[in-house]
Structure 1
Amino acid sequence: MFIVLLKYVKPLEEIDALLPGHIKFLEHQYKKSKFIFSGRRNPRIGGVILVNVDSERELHSILKEDPFYIHKVAEYETIEFIPTKYDPNFKCFIDKH
């Protein structure tokens, strides 16, 4: 599992122009059950995505489809982790692997 931290490196006007495509990208990954949650950072300097994939290679393949990545308006920090304690409601995501 991975936490992805996005940090905007371009003005919000450029981010907002790409937002419809970014939302479609997110929706596509939710339909494939790859993304668990996503949202804006506060203050609005970027975003956060929790991703349920098996490898960093798969993660980077997915992120390359994001319009924010394609147009170089955000930097991506990825953090791999293995959930060992979690709320029972989260178990369905753990049992996938």
Structure 2
Amino acid sequence: MFIISLTYTAELAQIEQHLAAHRQFLDRYYQAGVFLFSGRKEPRTGGIIIAQAAGRDEVERIISEDPFRQAGIADYAITEFIPSKTAPDLSHYAGA
């Protein structure tokens, strides 16, 4: 499992110009079963995506498709982790 942390490198007005395309990108990978959670950071300096992918290479390939990345308006930090404890409703992710 992966935590993808986006940090905006442009003004919010420029982020807003690419937001609809970014949401379509998110929708594509939710439908593919890769993205599990996502949302804005507070304060609004970027966002977080929780993903279940085969490996870091897959995550990097997916990120390369993000309109924010293509426009050069966000930096990305990828952290891989292995869930060892979860809420009961999420137990199927433990040890994934």
Runs of 4+ with deviation above 6 angstroms: none
Q: Give ranges in structure 1 of 5+ residues lacking alignment.
A: none
Paired positions, count: 96
CA shift, 1:91, in A, is 2.3
Q: Report Cα offsets for 1:2-34 as digits up to 9, x if no partner.
A: 001100000101100000000000000000000
Contact 2:10 2:73 in 1 (8 A): yes
Query: Over aligned residue pairs, what C-alpha RMSD do you find?
Result: 1.2
State the identity as a percent: 38
TM-score scaled by length of structure 1: 0.94
Per the alignment, residue 12 of structure 1 pairs with 12
Kept after mapping to 1: 8 A contact 2:82/2:94 = no
Rounded to whole Å, the distance in 1 between the matches of 2:37 and 2:77 is 16
- Residue 90 of structure 1: how far off its partner (Å): 1.0
Secondary structure class of the residue paired with 1:85: coil
The residue type equivalent to 1:48 in the other structure is I
1:46 aligns with 2:51: no
